[in-house]
Structure 1
Amino acid sequence: MQTEKVVDYIVNWLKDYATKAGVNGFVIGISGGIDSAVTSTLCAKTGLNVLCIEMPIHQAESHVTRAQEHIAQLKNRFDNVSDTRTNLTPVFEAFKAEVFFDGDQATIDMALANTRARLRMTTLYYYAGLYKLLVAGTGNKVEDFGVGFYTKYGDGGVDLSPIADLVKSEVYKIGDYLQVPESIMKAAPSDGLFGDARSDEDQIGASYPELEWAMKMDDEGKNANDFSGRELDVFKIYKRYNTTNKHKMIPIPICNIPNYLM
């Protein structure tokens, strides 16, 4: 990958899209992870307004620290960057007080995790409307089109996706080029939706390098019979997520009424 040229291409793409849309810039949720750090830096390089928002909901302290370190660095480097913090913990707790819980604990925990992501999406669009900004997505190619590791209408609810054609290893290369804080570069990727420090690998059962490999094998038409051992395990994990989350990756189904019924 020609890192510098890819960065320039994305920055120009962002600026051109925003200019044509007639908006003032971008709003981004900052999690303390590599994807939001890279995306916000790319947006900042456009010279347009960039609003970085922290939206903690019972957040792990390590995530908060990294997010604040990144925002401070970004504001020091770019005059067009501002930030705000919206504590969504009381909103989340108020929501929990008004709904009923039915089913096993794992199902409830996942429903609540997705609720966190959707509360954050609502917050981003509030500020987007307030300041005439676009919501910049932070999903990478493996998450968005491989395993579907995001919340539908949560972190998947965005206006544009600047890094969605880059796999995780490429995002890290760009992060290094953009001088993303070392604490973020070294941190284990985590969605931060469970109020603890569990990583994406803990949840998925495979690392991003492994998932990138499986995605490549799947694109080449390989199947489970081609692998054994750990490779077989990873390929099955990838295929399971890819199949289960396919509904996130395709357009919303439309019931097209036949002409003879109209």
Structure 2
Amino acid sequence: MEQKVEAITKWLREQVEQANVKGLLVGISGGIDSAVVAHLIRRACPEQSLGVIMPCKSNPADQVHAEKVIQSCGISSLTIDLTDTHNLMFENIVEQLKQSGSLNPQQKQIADANLRARLRMSTLYTVATNHQYLVTGTDNAAEWFTGYFTKFGDGGVDIVPLVNLTKGEVREMAEYLGVPDEIINKQPSAGLWEGQTDENEMGTSYAMIDSYLKGESIPEKDKEIIERMHKRTEHKRNIAPGPPK
């Protein structure tokens, strides 16, 4: 694990140098992935790293956990509450859709959640431009393969240091780096709505996805779910396509 941490830390420094920027920032959600990234960028750029907490209709416990991440790694931080911004924007959009007669109530919840993710992305890039930093993503191998992220939301980043690590490896790295136990052991959730968890929404577990990515045998039901998610979300892993020449 020490070698993995050192390799990623070195790679992060190289990305900063190649992009000719000053440092790195990450949005800290209170979950394990962003906690690990916060620790990594603090190691890579001790004086030029920033953790941004962005509550937006969020569970108060998530902000408490995010602040504990800040304390555990000693990274500089900034808190920007996006709740009012989101409410104003989303309510205006919904009202215009209602007036046009095109509002789809079945899609309202996911549209609300995706807008929050994209507002956070816009906020991170605004702060990053101010500091001349790269926006560092938090997706791990399981999330990337299944497309379990919002396109141009939490998937809208400059670099993705955890993309080759399974969820289990991220957990091991969190323990090594000193991420607080309550964050390591909490149930993974994007905090999109009350009671939402990653695994309930996906219909399978991170353990199953990790096993699949390692080439291990898993139940056919889980294999079908994972492969279906991967195929359906291929567009998220590619830049916007254009027609052939």
Match of 1:12 among 10, 13, 16: 10
Aligned sequence identity (%): 35
Using the alignment, how far apart are the partners of 1:36 and 1:169 within structure 2? 15
**Equivalent position to 1:239, from 227, 237, 244:** 227
2:239 aligned residue = 251
Which deviates further from its counterpart, 247-256 or 197-206? 247-256
Query: 74, 77, 81: which one pairs with 1:83?
Result: 77
List per-residue Cα deviations over 1:173-228 (Å, max 9, x = no partner).
1111101111111101111122x2421011111110011223344xx8x9xxxx7x
Distance in 2 separating the partners of 1:128 and 1:23: 10
* Alpha-carbon distance in 1 for matches of 2:166, 2:240: 24
Between the aligned partners of 1:162 and 1:48, the Cα distance in structure 2 is: 19
Which residue identity lines up with residue 85 of structure 1 in the other structure?
A: T
1:48 CA drift (Å): 4.4
Number of the residue aligned with 1:199? 197
Residue aligned with 2:172, SS: helix
Q: Structure 2: which 5+ runs fail to align?
A: 98-102
Separation of aligned partners in 2, 1:201 and 1:15 = 33
Aligned residue for 1:134, secondary structure, equals strand
Note the 1:160-239 alignment, pairs <5 A. 160-194=159-193, 196-217=194-215, 231-239=219-227
- Aligned partner letter, 2:146: V
Residue 26 in structure 1 maps to residue 20 in structure 2: no
Residue-pair matches, total? 237
The structure-2 alpha-carbon separation of the partners of 1:52 and 1:197, relative to structure 1 and needing over 3 Å to count, comes to farther
1:96 is aligned to 2:90: yes
Structure whose CA Rg is larger: 1
Q: Map Cα deviations across residues 4-23 of structure 1 (whole Å, 9 max, x no partner).
A: 10100000010121023221
1:35-50 matches, cutoff 5 A: 35-46=33-44, 47-50=46-49
Task: Tell me the CA shift for residue 252 of structure 1.
Answer: 2.5
Q: Distance in 1 between matches of 2:229 and 2:132?
A: 36
Contact 1:26/1:48 (<8 A) preserved: no
Letter in 1 for 2:160: S
Consecutive unaligned residues in structure 1, runs of 5 or more: 76-80, 258-262
How far is 1:61 from its partner?
2.0
* TM-score for the superposition, normalised by structure 1: 0.86
Letter in 2 for 1:82: S
- Secondary structure at the aligned position of 2:235 is classed as helix
Q: In the alignment, what sits opposite 1:78?
A: none
CA contact (8 A) 1:60 1:197 kept: no
Letter in 1 for 2:30: G
Deviation at 1:52, TM superposition (A): 0.6
Q: Distance in 2 between matches of 1:143 and 1:161?
A: 11
Q: Which SS does the other structure have where 1:165 is aligned?
A: coil
Contact 2:72–2:178 at 8 Å: present in 1 too? Answer: no
Superposed CA RMSD: 1.6
Output the TM-score relative to the length of structure 2.
Answer: 0.92
